[in-house]
Every structure is written in C-alpha cells, then in structure tokens.
Amino acid sequence: MSQPLVSVTVCVRDGAQWIDDCMGALAGQTYRPLEIIAVDDGSLDGGTEVIQEWHDPEAQRPESNGIPIRVLRQEPLGLSAGRNLALNEANGDWVAITDIDCRPRPDWIEKMCSASEGVEAVTGRTIFDEGNTSVSKLRASMIAEKYASRSEQATLANGPCSMFRRENLVVRGGFDPAWYHAEDMEVSMRILESGDEIRYVADAIVNHVAEESLLQFLAKRRRDARAHVRIIRGYRGVKHDFTADAKFVTPLLPVVLLVWSSFLQFGPPDLFTATIAPFWIVITSFFLVALVVFRIHVLWSCALWLGVFEGCVDALLGRNGHRRQFAKK
C-alpha cells in the first residue's frame, strides 16, 4: 500500500536569517512522498530573495533531495492568509505546518504519519533552544513543562509542528484570516467542536530557535492572552486548557493591581498628600523589590493581564473577530 502524499508548508515574513536552516531541515525529511510549499508574506529584509533560491518544483537540485519545492508570494496579509494560500496549492492527503524559525528533525513527518490513523490532526513536540538569556531559558523550561503534561489526546495542534487532513481542513474553511494571532488554537477548537481528534506524538520533534528578546517574549504573551479571551468566548463547550501561563503568574496580579490602582487614584508622587505618601512608598517598594527579584515574571504578569484587558475591550466593542458583548440579538 502506497504512503499518502504530505505537503509541508511554511510561511516567512522578515525571517531571512532562519530560512536556509528551516528549508534544509524540511528537505532533509526521511518521509516520502513529500512536497514543500513556502510562502513569502511580503518580506522586506531580503527574505524574498533567500527563499526564492529554494524554488525547485522539478526537484532537480541536490539540496532538494528529490522533493519538489515551490515558493509562492503574497502581499503582507498575515500568517493565516499565508497558510491558506499554501493549503489551496497543496496536493497532499495531509498538510503539515511549521514556522520559519523552526528546524524539524528528519523523522518529524514520518513519526506523525505513523500515528495518523483515525484522527483529524496530528501534532508533535516543539523544543525551544535554551539560548543565553534568562528569557530564553525561562521560555524553554516553560514549553518543556507544558509538553511533559500533555496527553495523547491533545487540545491543540501547535503551529510549529502539526499536520491536518487536507480535504477536511479545506471544507472547514482553512485558517481564519480574521485571527490576528493564535490561528492554530482557533482551528484546533473547530476540529474538537466537530467531535474529531487531535493526536499528540511526543517523538515527532521540531526544534525552535531561542526566544532571546524580553520585549518579543512579552509581546507574544500579551497576544496569547488577548486571543485566549476570544477562544474562551467562542468555544465554551469545548474542553481546552490554555490557562497554564495565567496559573503561573496569577499570584502576581494583586501586586500589579495595587500599583496601577494607587497610581491612577492618587496621581504621581508630587501630588501626594502626607497621608497618602506612606501608602505609596510601601506599595512601590514592594513592587520594586519584586521587579528586581522576579523581573521577568512581574513583567510577564503585566503583559498577560494587559492582553486579557484588551481581549475584554475587543469583546465589548465587537472588534477583531469578536461578537459584540451585550449586542441586541
């Protein structure tokens, strides 16, 4: 019996420094038959030229390893639109997705295919490089802990390391372009809502570059939290657990709220009365000590709860794909 064709897809926008490593890893997959589709989402950092060098639809170049590689281009429409473009151009029975800052191990597709019987999607394990900063080490540890507790029946087909039955994904509408972030969460919820299964395969491994930047880390956690509000509102009947980050940093919420509320209520220190000043000093001192000792965690907590707040505002105003809260039916 012949093996099903798998279309591996990846999108890139301004990731020129990662393209060759990622494409080399995809071309190094042991599974056959395979095709690779890369989408350039309006890169401005020279990535367009770098990715175009991998275009080899006839699989004639040595670095293609006999795998047809097509490079498509689109205006900067976002990750969901790029994934949909690749999905619509794919010929495979299965469509796999990854990210340009990832390096799938050679047997990634092979491992997922071996566990694909009877399920709608298969997801592997992402391992973040530890890097050289406290942020990158925390991120690597955090991801490792999440995967350590994941069961075979998964609730999320992660963007860096998953594959889906192509025809069924097309029928479901592909990836929703209205999602500014967390498109993998949203499509996973639709799969689960229909009663289908996502299977987790722990030894289908994708390595991810280290997340070194604190600002990038905080921005992503903020976007995650904002997207979670929409997930929770839109898919209340589906079992999911996207709150691990919140559980980890929730104890810091009272500190953050005290500082914010005291500043908003009393104003900057030069407007304080003698009665209010001691209260401010105690709170600020506690916050500064916490910020020094647990700097990343405090900032993480701020970013997370800011994202939750933004998600609630989205719901109230009916924007970014939300159905407006309290809207007349």
30-59 pLDDT, tens digit each: 999 999 999 999 999 999 999 999 999 999
DSSP for 161-172 reads SEEEEHHHHHHT
**What's the CA gap between 174 and 111, in Å, rounded?**
24
**Statement to judge: residues 179 and 301 lie in one domain:** no
Task: Quick: pLDDT tens for 191-250.
Answer: 999 999 999 999 999 999 999 999 999 999 999 889 888 888 888 766 655 555 555 555
The reply to whether 150 falls in a domain is: no
The rounded mean pLDDT for the chain is 87
CATH number of residue 17's parent domain: 3.90.550.10
Show which of 169, 196, 223 is a domain's final residue: 196
Domain assignment of residue 146, yes or no: no
Whether 59 maps to a domain, the answer reads yes
Q: What is the Cβ-side half-sphere exposure of residue 79, based on CA atoms within 13 angstroms? A: 15
CA-CA-CA-CA torsion sign (179, 185, 191, 193): negative
207 in a structural domain:
no
Instruction: Quote the CA–CA distance of 102 and 88 in Å, as a whole number.
Output: 23
Nearest to 20 by CA among 31, 12, 30: 12
DSSP-derived pairing of the beta strands 198-208 and 69-74? unpaired
Residues 328 and 272 both lie in one domain: yes
Question: Quick check: 261 pLDDT over 90?
Answer: no
Same domain, 182 and 96: yes
Residues 165 and 219 in one domain: no
End-of-domain residue from the set 196, 225, 245? 196
Which tokens belong to 280? 């401010």
Query: How confident is the model at residue 120, as a pLDDT?
Result: 98
pLDDT at residue 324 in the model = 77
Range of the domain at 256: 214-329
CB within 8 A of 217, min separation 6: which ones? 135, 139, 211, 296, 300
Percent of the chain with pLDDT over 70: 81
Count of domains in the chain? 2
- Please give the pLDDT value at position 296: 82
| Tokens of residue 217, six digits | 């880390």
In whole angstroms, what is the distance from residue 93 CA to residue 319 CA? 35
Instruction: Report residue 323's pLDDT band, with 50, 70 and 90 as the boundaries.
Output: confident
Is 103 inside any structural domain? yes
322 within some domain: yes
What average pLDDT score do residues 269-282 get? 57
Same domain, 39 and 104: yes
Residue 220 lies in a domain: yes
Contact between residue 214 and residue 135 where contact means Cβ atoms under 8 Å apart = yes
Do 106 and 232 lie in one domain? The reply is no
* pLDDT score at 29: 98
Domain match, 171 and 252 both: no
User: For residue 121, is pLDDT > 90?
Assistant: yes
Do residue 64 and residue 178 come from a single domain? Answer: yes
Rounded to whole angstroms, the Cα distance separating 50 from 264 reads 50
Q: Is residue 111 part of a domain?
A: yes
DSSP single-letter state for residue 56? B
Q: Looking at the predicted structure, is the pLDDT value of residue 285 above 80?
A: no
Question: Percentage of residues in the chain with pLDDT exceeding 90?
Answer: 65
* CA 264 to chain CA mean position, Å: 34
- pLDDT band, residue 80 (cuts 50/70/90): very high
Among 147, 165, 196, the domain-final residue is: 196
Residues 125 and 207: beta-carbon distance below 8 Å: no
Same domain, 189 and 226: no
Q: Pick 270 or 291 by higher pLDDT.
A: 291
My answer on whether 62 and 167 are in the same domain is yes
User: Residue 70: in which H helix or E strand, if any?
Assistant: strand 69-74
Q: Is pLDDT of 317 > 80?
A: yes
Residue 298 pLDDT: 76
Return all residues near 248 (Cβ < 8 A) that are at least 6 apart.
142
Q: Describe the chain by its helix, strand, coil percentages, rounded to 5.
A: 50, 15, 35
| pLDDT confidence tier of residue 181, bands split at 50, 70 and 90 | confident
Q: Say whether both 177 and 254 belong to one domain.
A: no
Which of 218, 119, 224, 207 has its CA nearest to residue 161? 207
pLDDT confidence band for 288 (50 / 70 / 90): low
pLDDT higher than 90, residue 178 = no
Question: Do 186 and 258 sit in the same domain of this protein?
Answer: no
Is residue 289 pLDDT above 90, yes or no?
no
